[in-house]
Amino acid sequence: RSSLREKLIAQAPEDAPRIALAESKKDLGIVSQQDGIVSTLFTIKNEGQSDLVVDKLSSSCGCTSASLIYQGKEGPRFYMAGHGHDEPDASWQVSIAPGDEAQVKVYYDPTVHPDLVGPVTRTVSVHTNDPVDFETKITITLEQEK
């Protein structure tokens, strides 16, 4: 994997967009089904020299969804494909200028798994035009209670 990454870095244009995360994992602590949906924010930054285009988000489970917030506007929510939610418009995308930041808002709905008690780990993938890190994963962990 590291040799493939090295090849991608070597082949990337000098002015390519480059996604960077302030942090890639957050612990949401104890989440109760009674309290409903919880959310958290991850900051992404374009450390490249051309626009970073985010064209899709995806999640590892139907209980988790995500949206992108850029310049104060929250885009559509993306869910795990094929789990009963309408897919956002396939032409949706957001261009993040070089040096600029956006937030990925991750939502977790504990009521989707009413019998689940204990530790939970879920991931969200951010799909971009970064030629090296074109699918960047962020992770939430939590302890679910009834």
pLDDT digits (tens, 9 = 90+) for 71-92: 999 999 999 987 778 888 889 9
pTM equals 0.94
Please check the confidence at residue 24 and state whether its pLDDT lies above 90. Answer: yes
Residues in CB range of 117: below 8 A, 6 or more apart: 144, 145, 146
Please check the confidence at residue 5 and state whether its pLDDT lies above 90. Answer: no
Task: Give CA–CA dist 99/51, Å, rounded.
Answer: 9
Residue of 106, 104, 120, 117 lying closest to 34 (CA atoms): 117
> What is the Cα gyration radius of the chain?
16
